Amino acid sequence: MSSPVPESSQANSQRIAVVQIESPETPIKLNPSKSKLESSPSNNGKIQFREQKGLFQQLRSLLNSLLVLIFFMIPFINYQGRQAILFDVDKQQFHFFSLTLWPQDFTLLAWIFIAAAFGLFFITVFWGRVWCGFLCPQTAWTFMYVWIESRIEGSSNKRKLLDKAPWTSNKILKRSSKHGLWALVALLTGCGFIGYFVPARELYLDIFSLNASFWVSSWVWFFAICTYLNAGWMREQMCLHCCPYSRFQAVMFDGNTKTVTYDAARGESRGPRKRNQATELGDCVDCNLCVDVCPTGIDIRNGLQYECINCGACVDACNQTMDQFGYQPNLISFISENELKGEATPVWRSGRFVSYGLALVTFVIVTLVDLSSISEIQFNILRDRQSLYREVSVAEIENTYQLRIRNKTQTLKHYRISLDKPELFELMSPSVIHVSAAEQLEYPITVKAKLADLIHGRETLQFSVIDINNPKQNVTQSSSFFSPSS
């Protein structure tokens, strides 16, 4: 902290000062009486936040760009001549490279989603809402739309002036260009999302050539409209009012959770001053950049707020200002409450760390066990409903069954059908069958037994279907063999 100065100097330091900030936008005048007015949204309530450069914004941009690229590219990855990842709604199949899941296997997806949720909770204990600031699709698409907006309409101050300006040919041109590009991005996003449910290579061609079916087109345009509204118009309203995570995330915090925090002990009392000017004020120069760059429009200096998405924009803006004034960085930083107090403790001592960690490990294990137990064969037996049995002769009895055998893989399979009591029962149908990829075969068979060998009127027998090339893949199901009562 600087040494004390005469009262006259302190009084002068309270007057209006101009701070030159190296920013993507023009410098702003600092006036404590007007700072809130200058940073407030335009009359329509829309937050026009400033673009900001810095370490955390570079990291966020890199992660957002990478995730958006992955989102669009995954449906175009092929595996063994088909789309590698595809939720095939028509055939009720989920393809994930060599793994194919059917409706009865979807409990696996439930375990994966539950494990992912506890993974998010586990990370929240350490880094707060880092998901919201760096990985959330809403944040990624919002910043993408703002980037388009700023390229066409200019900086935040220019956008605010344009909002209030009368409709002229220039304004109409800028607005139509912006919304046209927004609509194109939204349409591509709708195609990208539906590309996980419909073969993507055909989808884009069908949509842009207007040859897609009614339902496919409807779903693409539905998600396109949602994207356009969420990222273009609602933006922070989704985070403030629609996202449940912002409402319950605070219950996962403890004293060691790192969140974007303002060091009030170091920053107060805040106030404007000139560079290299001696002052008894705190390090906060009240430049208001932390508010101007915030995508949700909050003032982080008012303490932890549920609206904060931990994007780090205010951290980069404040560090930029601290560097200009020669002050220590991280007046606003990712830091825990205990660290600010000098009472930081190891995270593994936290009860939330233990509980969320155990829950995460448990559901990961459950997911792996469920995955390892998935069979490549689905097998059901239906008895002939016309008759319980058929007397072939005085000494022999036949029962008829309908086998439903589904090959859950994407390759042709050769199966062998066997009975558990070959000395008692004889299979009258061919025992080797061939089932095409992802096909369900209805296979009628007849089983014969000698009446003299049957002790009871109802015997239990087991059918087994075995993959000839991979005997470990086999399923067994029991049924009944009926005969005249002895």
Contact 137, 126 (CB under 8 A): no
Q: In what order do the strands lie in the sheet with 432-435?
A: 432-435, 413-419, 458-467, 474-482
Distance CA 29, CA 272 (A): 10
Distance CA 333, CA 17 (A): 25
Please state, as a whole number, how many other Cβ atoms lie within 10 Å of the Cβ of residue 19: 19
- For residue 485, the model assigns a pLDDT of 64
Burial of 449 (0-12, 13-18, 19+ CB in 10 A): buried
* Tokens found for residue 107: 């409990």
- For residue 74, the model assigns a pLDDT of 95
Task: Name 416's Cβ contacts closer than 8 Å, sequence gap at least 6.
Answer: 431, 432, 465, 466, 468
Contact 104, 97 (CB under 8 A): no
Where helices occur in 281-423 by DSSP H, the ranges are: 289-292, 313-325, 337-341, 351-372
Length of the chain, in residues: 486
- For residue 173, the model assigns a pLDDT of 96
- State the DSSP H helix or E strand holding residue 465, giving kind and residue range, or none if neither: strand 458-467
- For residue 453, the model assigns a pLDDT of 83
- For residue 44, the model assigns a pLDDT of 55
- For residue 4, the model assigns a pLDDT of 41
Contact 428, 445 (CB under 8 A): yes
Distance CA 96, CA 84 (A): 6
Distance CA 47, CA 375 (A): 53
Ranges in the chain, pLDDT < 50: 1-43
Which is nearest to 452 in space by CA: 397, 376, 410? 397
E-strand stretches of 308-407:
332-335, 377-383, 390-391, 396-407
* Tokens found for residue 289: 């950049």
Distance CA 13, CA 11 (A): 5
* Tokens found for residue 396: 């022999």
- For residue 13, the model assigns a pLDDT of 37
